[in-house]
A and B are shown apart, each in its own frame.
Chain A
Amino acid sequence: MADEEAPLLIAEGLSKWYGRQLGCRDVSFELYEGEVIAVVGESGSGKSTLLQLLCGELTPSAGKVLYRMRNGVTRDPALLGDAERRFLARTDWGLVHQDATLGLRMAVSAGANVGDRLMAVGWRHYGRIRDTAAGWLDRVEIDRARIDDSPRTYSGGMRQRLQIARNLVSQPRLVLMDEPTGGLDVSVQARLLDLIRGLVADLKLSVVIVTHDLAVARLLSHRIMVMKDGEVIESGLTDQVLEDPREPYSQLLVSSTLPP
């Protein structure tokens, strides 16, 4: 049964200090396969620090991350060798940045962007890589005719969809997203959210999504963690936290949002 399965990702007492400045403190949670957790809170609450700790971009001041590898063994990614960790990051994990230019290679074609991860896992046949990339462009609703164009020529929404295709082509199990819909027009956001929602369900992805937009959390997540001043102050089922928030700050956050 699903309940007896081990978590895919475990955060244990993660803390990060930037000198004397607190990034986040003592964050612990477990993420299971197919589960989506939204981390909400305002700017400076420690959401992005947490995401960077999870993906290994930052080293924690205390605590650790544990990840269940494809062979079933749960390991601390920080203790893997460089090559093994890089391989994990390029195949089994995805990272979707708010700023697509950080997640894409802007100087190469869209097709090459999607093909990168396939090359990383040893694909060498150009035709197959190109076909697979084209299939992924279809899936994220980008016209195949644009496969040879650079993402510089793409709109914000298209870049974000391309970034998602680039990440998902290797069939990762864990995807971390940092404000994936931030800075996009509302209609573009809706399309992107719907796309993410469908892909997450179809591919049974486990996702940690950082967002300040409660409507995004409502639509995509099973559970919510509310962060304030670097700490998780409340967590629970998404509808429970949004409809019956317990902490003063969560109540403020929920009541400050116009109903979608």
Chain B
Amino acid sequence: MTVALELREVAKTFTMHLQGGVLLPCVAGVSFSVQAGECIVLAGPSGAGKSTILKMVFGSYRCDRGRIVVHHGGQCIDVAGASPRQILTLRRGTIGYVSQFLRAIPRVPALDVVAEPLVANGAVREEARELAGHLLGRLDVAQRLWALPPATFSGGEQQRVNIARSFLPDLPILLLDEPTASLDAVSATSVIDLIAERKRRGTSIVAIVHDPDVRDRIADTVIDVTRFAVAA
């Protein structure tokens, strides 16, 4: 088995300076590893720190303690101690992140929103657009929407654009925060199929999924995040 991602004794506390410096311990002692082709689902109630863990792995949140080691191409990089440039490099070639909501960019058509990460990695724009269209089609995003900026799309349509954008570059590690929450059953199934296909190709996935049916269909391992809770 090949380890793709390893968390060791990761901890995070928020300091709320505007509320008199109150400390909000979030998680501590977070340790788990993800193999190539494995899907780990983080479970637990809202506020347990699931999204915080994903954001620390992606580098959007700082990690106070511990190590978050990403293995890729024979190299190990500890996200917790990496420079901004190293993290940006990881995001281009190694780690993808599907947030709960698409951060729409004004005036950019859906097709280009999806194609952009490929173009940034040096792909020819027309070829990237073609691949983007193919994936949007698989996710049942109507072709008449492709040329429009997603800001006015429905929640489910935006989420599928978001998923397509992160899945298109074929990154070895994907972090998914409620990827199917705003989707109908048909679209959710397309996403589950996509996840299964990626797993077969060796992609490692860490996901937050509340829907028990979806969870059962994608998870190899379920980790209850409440075990990383900090005693108050």
Contacts and interface: CB of A to CB of B under 8 A. Distances in A.
B60 A191 contact: no
A236 B60 contact: no
Q: Is the interface of A mostly helix, strand, loop or mixed?
A: helix
Given A244-B62, A251-B18, A236 B84 contact: yes
A21 B24 CA distance: 39
Contacts of A3: 85-86, 89
A68 interface: no
A74 B95 CA distance: 34
A121 interface: no
Interface in A34-81: 35
A222 B89 CA distance: 11
A219 interface: yes
A119 interface: no
Contact of B107 (A190, A237, A247, A255): A190
A101 interface: no
A219 B61 contact: no
B61 A244 contact: yes
B59 A240 contact: yes
B108 interface: yes
A197 B105 contact: yes
A248 B17 contact: yes
Contacts of A197: 105
A223 B27 CA distance: 26
Interface string B81-93: 0001111110000
B84 A223 contact: yes
Interface residues of A, number: 25
A240 B107 contact: no
Instruction: Report, as a range, how many residues of chain B touch the other chain.
Output: 20 to 34
Contact of A194 (B61, B85, B87, B106): B106
A147 interface: no
Interface string A203-231: 00000000000000001001100000000
Contacts of A102: none
Nearest to A247: B17
A185 interface: no
A120 interface: no
Interface string B1-22: 0000000000000111110000
B56 to A, nearest CB: 9
B85 A32 contact: yes
B61 A243 contact: yes
Contacts of B87: 237
B120 interface: yes
A240 B17 contact: no
B199 interface: no
Contact of A240 (B60, B85, B86, B120): B60
A122 B14 CA distance: 57
Contacts of B107: 190-191, 194
Given A35-B85, A248-B18, 17 more contacts: A3-B86, A32-B85, A219-B105, A222-B84, A223-B84, A237-B59, A237-B84, A239-B60, A240-B59, A243-B55, A244-B14, A244-B60, A247-B17, A248-B17, A251-B18, A252-B17, A255-B18
28 contacts: A3-B85, A3-B86, A3-B89, A32-B85, A190-B106, A193-B106, A194-B105, A194-B106, A194-B107, A194-B108, A201-B119, A222-B88, A236-B62, A236-B84, A237-B87, A240-B59, A240-B60, A240-B61, A243-B60, A244-B14, A244-B60, A244-B61, A246-B15, A246-B62, A248-B18, A251-B18, A252-B18, A255-B18
5 A-B pairs with the lowest CB-CB distances in the bound complex, closest first: A248-B17, A190-B106, A244-B61, A194-B107, A239-B60
Interface of A: 2-3, 32, 35, 190-191, 193-194, 197, 201, 219, 222-223, 236-237, 239-240, 243-244, 246-248, 251-252, 255
